[in-house]
Amino acid sequence: MKRLSILLFVLFLVACQSQAGAGVVNTYTNIGAVELNNMLAEKDFVFVNVHIPFEGDIAATDLSIPFDEITDPDNLAQLPADKNAKIVLYCRSGRMSEIAANALVALGYTNIWNLDGGMIEWERQGFEIIGK
């Protein structure tokens, strides 16, 4: 019940944000698997797997936080306090990380990146998933 309440609250915040802000749109950036692989060579971000249940990681993952618990205060405490810090999210297909990205943007995070297509696209491009 707590998870559902949190998720509904986050969805409410996202909906409100999309209607507020007269022209100011906070959003996240989608990236492809090849671009992410290039970014990992000079990693300057917090890398978060938000997929549940666990189905493996991309190497260099820093945190695993369930997408539907990303706004829980204990989980937010694991993220950088600076809401301008770069955070890259991913999941298996991209859907859970989109939800988490929207939730973080609704909370004022400004430098959120999402792996478009998730681990499926990562593997399709020939990259490895570890620990599955």
Which domains are assigned to the chain?
2-124 (3.40.250.10)
The alpha carbon dihedral of 38, 40, 41, 45 has a sign of positive
- 91 a catalytic residue: yes
* Token code pair at residue 132: 């599955």
Structure tokens at 81: 């306090």
- Cα end-to-end distance, the chain, whole Å: 29
pLDDT the model gives residue 132 = 75
Q: What is the pTM of this model?
A: 0.81
> What pLDDT shows up at residue 1?
56
Q: Which pLDDT tens digits describe the chain residue by residue (132 residues)? A: 555 444 444 444 444 443 333 344 569 999 999 999 999 999 999 999 999 999 999 999 999 999 999 999 999 999 999 999 999 999 999 999 999 999 999 999 999 999 999 999 999 999 999 997
**pLDDT on residue 25:** 52
Q: Which one from 58, 87, 89, 91 is the annotated catalytic residue?
A: 91
Q: Which pLDDT score, from 0 to 100, does residue 13 have?
A: 45
The helix (run of H) or strand (run of E) holding residue 114 is strand 112-115
